[in-house]
Structure 1
Amino acid sequence: MNGEDQYLAALYQRFPVNLVRGKGTRVWDAAGKEYIDCMGGYGVALVGHCNDRVVAAIKKQADTLITAHMSVYNNMRLKFMEKMSTLTPPGLNKMFFTNSGAESVEGALKFARKYTGKYGIIAMNGAYHGKTFGALSVTYNEKYRKSFMPLLSGVKFVPYSDPNKLEEAIDETTGTVILEPIQGETGIIVPPDDLLPKIREICNKRNLVLVFDEIQSGLGRTGKMWAGQNWNTTPDIMCLAKGIAGGIPMGLIVAKPEIMEATKLGEHSSTFGGSPLACAAGTATLEALTDDKLVENAAKIGTQFKEGLKRLKEKHKIIREVRGLGMMLGVELRFEVKDVLFDGIRNGLLMLYSGRNIIRLLPPLVMDETTISRVVDIMDFVLSSEEKRRNVS
């Protein structure tokens, strides 16, 4: 047992590695062993560990002003919003700062309800939006929900890929539809090409607020700045967090002005939201994405990565399917992934899981061709070892 375990609440799946340093695509443990990081802090290490731009911005801001509540003005906050406004989809230019993905979802649900005056929400089978009460209410997996019932009333779940079922679920109480453009936690599920445009059309026709949870899929992860752009679909509200500030806790809600302005003075707030320190890190992160062309790199290297994984599928019967876009990839196995993940750690590769049998890969967008080739080689080795262990031939 690590010393942390005597203090930390036992709520996390723990991996047998003690990380003490990171740079770019690599992390190191206390013994000095190097790992290629395809876990990426569950998508937080978007622009790489200790990105030079982010580190410099944090150091400079920490010497200047760390905290400034949103009840006062701050130039660094303005700088971040000005930069973000050049990247958001057309029409989404009002912002609210949070500190996490779940907090962004909570705020989005409140803003949508206040705007529509309706409490009904439609979410998707397989959805994951967080574990606070509102976010948990629109999260599908029963293992997260069952101990905390009753949750929010008025929430309905419909099949992710069936817009007809969504339309059938709409009633006079429905005001909001929330979804992930690519479902992450449930296994990197990419929608059919016509799904998001159809849902947008339904929401327009029925006067519903469409919320995209881009917490994991946004900010270049899929090879587009926003995952919804892969299907030319713009929501009414967008939830952001994870890698938005290069590893510093930060979240953001971006919405159409008329939606955000329906919530009045004092009806929602966040004490730490939009701090100068987070905004400095966030601005540097956005500059890394644009000036260092990391979104384009995610598209290019992500294609190479996916092709390498598909070659592994041809070689290894243990692989059922490879899916995803850009640097948001999943490898579905025919068996549980735990032993593969732990063998990866032993061989210098950190990977994630989705459910019991899916490897989830969320590497930093600074990955290069040589590193991805090495990742594929390590995965080839550990999959071969797993097949031998299971007598798969």
Structure 2
Amino acid sequence: MSYLFPTYARWEVQPVKAKGSRLTDQNGDEYLDFTAGIGVTNLGHVPSTVKEEVIDQLNLFWHTSNLFQSKLQEETAKLLVEASGLDLVFFCNSGAEANEAAIKLARKATGRSKIITFLHSFHGRTFAGMAATGQEKVKVGFGPMLETFEYVPFNDIEALKAALDENTAAVMTEIIQGEGGINPATPEFLQSLETLCHENGTLLIIDEIQTGIGRTGKPFAFQHYGLHPDIVSVAKGIASGLPLGAIIGKKELGQAFSPGSHGSTFGGNPVSVRAAKATLEIIFQNDFLNEVERKGAYFQNSLKTKLSDAKVVKSIRGKGLMIGIELTDNAEPFLVQARKEKLLILTAGSHVLRLLPPLTVSDSEIEKAVNILSKVLGS
């Protein structure tokens, strides 16, 4: 009997310890972990530098309140601001909360109510997150959704033009749709989207919860395309596994989030923020990010070479160390088989295997994963 709600179809693996790219289960079996906690442990499991900072903070204090000044929050927010080119940060606890904050801020700042998102998008499981998500399966059984959300096809600029009107507060998009199948936006679409938003007085929200914090080889994925968003939501990789989310926005939006307009009791918790500061100081270094780009290219090229004869493979796509393998068949059996071969990976939709290794993964670990996938996929 389990005392937990059955909200997850849990695997048979129960982690007991982990370090770097390796995870050990209750039977003593060691796995190569290319899930990274669903894109969270970007520095690998239990990174030493972050661990030391967390222990030091635990010895100081764990929690006070956001009524107090926080030098630590300011220092961590500065890292996000300098890396993004934006101005102000609000800390919360998760990606869903970050997207809630982004939606609230956009509506309050513009005085408009409509939010446009894209089919196959994913923005969280709260009511605003579900309403923003362009996938019907996450909404089933929960009754009427929040109003004034509209969904258009991804990479279809004409559909966006038709939907955009004077009541549109924001367009919210991922640069690469994660849960929707590792679907990248085209550069042309992104550039046109930004232009349309600016012409219409509509804010551009970019959901970087899975693509941000170095995952694609830049601090944020929008930077590959020279975009200038109004609001960016981040979480997952920001604090090496401790719960933290944030939005980063332009300074002119600051007056819309005045005292009392929004808040979070645990948002910006000192232990999580201390972990974030240590994490960002490593990931936002140019040499580190260049290595992510190199390893990502190496991984994709190795997969394309090794799986070139695999009949079940339709395409391999992604950016940096966010990679999807689209299959002709349902992906779940291959996920299970990879796990039997001691490689942990994910799905993204029904027919895509999703690979999210730690950004610290080694070339030899990439080679091992490629060989396992080759075996599993029958090439």
Q: TM-score range by the shorter chain?
A: over 0.9
Partner Cα distance (1:299, 1:159) in 2? 29
Change (3 A) 1:290 1:263: closer
Task: Tell me if structure 1 keeps the 8 A contact 2:81–2:89.
Answer: no
2:303 to 285, 289, 309: 309
The yes-or-no answer on 1:231 pairing with 2:225 is yes
Partner Cα distance (1:220, 1:69) in 2? 30
Partner Cα distance (2:316, 2:300) in 1? 7
Q: Which residue of 1 aligns with 2:266?
A: 272
Partner Cα distance (1:246, 1:162) in 2? 35
The yes-or-no answer on 1:290 pairing with 2:280 is no
One-letter identity of the residue aligned with 1:153: E
* Root mean square deviation of aligned Cα: 1.3
Partner Cα distance (1:295, 1:124) in 2? 29
Q: Which residue of 2 aligns with 1:100?
A: 94
Q: Which residue of 2 aligns with 1:115?
A: 109
The yes-or-no answer on 1:299 pairing with 2:260 is no
- Compute the displacement of 1:357 (Å): 1.2
- Compute the displacement of 1:356 (Å): 1.4
One-letter identity of the residue aligned with 1:245: A
Q: Which residue of 2 aligns with 1:12?
A: 8
Partner Cα distance (2:287, 2:53) in 1? 19
Q: Secondary structure at the match of 2:109?
A: helix
The yes-or-no answer on 1:195 pairing with 2:189 is yes
Q: Which residue of 2 aligns with 1:37?
A: 33
Task: Tell me if structure 2 keeps the 8 A contact 1:69–1:274.
Answer: no
Q: Which residue of 2 aligns with 1:330?
A: 324
The yes-or-no answer on 1:27 pairing with 2:23 is yes
Pairing 1:217-228 to 2, within 5 Å after superposition: 217-228=211-222
The yes-or-no answer on 1:64 pairing with 2:93 is no
Mean Cα deviation higher: 284-293 or 173-182:
284-293
Partner Cα distance (2:291, 2:66) in 1? 35
**1:165-194 deviation per Cα after TM superposition (whole angstroms, max 9, x unaligned):** 111102232111101011000110111121
Q: Which residue of 2 aligns with 1:85?
A: 81
Q: Which residue of 2 aligns with 1:369?
A: 363
Partner Cα distance (2:309, 2:16) in 1? 36
Q: For structure 2, list consecutive stretches of 5 or more residues without a partner in the other structure.
A: none
How many residues of Structure 1 are paired with residues of Structure 2 in the alignment? 379
Partner Cα distance (2:255, 2:204) in 1? 16
Q: For structure 1, list consecutive stretches of 5 or more residues without a partner in the other structure.
A: 388-393
One-letter identity of the residue aligned with 1:122: I
- Compute the displacement of 1:349 (Å): 0.3
The yes-or-no answer on 1:176 pairing with 2:170 is yes
- Compute the displacement of 1:10 (Å): 0.4
Q: Secondary structure at the match of 2:151?
A: strand
- Compute the displacement of 1:26 (Å): 0.8
Task: Tell me if structure 1 keeps the 8 A contact 2:165–2:200.
Answer: no
Q: TM-score, normalised by structure 2?
A: 0.97
Q: Which residue of 1 aligns with 2:347?
A: 353
Change (3 A) 1:121 1:13: same
The yes-or-no answer on 1:255 pairing with 2:232 is no
Q: Secondary structure at the match of 1:332?
A: strand
Partner Cα distance (2:254, 2:296) in 1? 35
- Compute the displacement of 1:305 (Å): 0.5
Q: TM-score, normalised by structure 1?
A: 0.94
Partner Cα distance (2:81, 2:163) in 1? 34
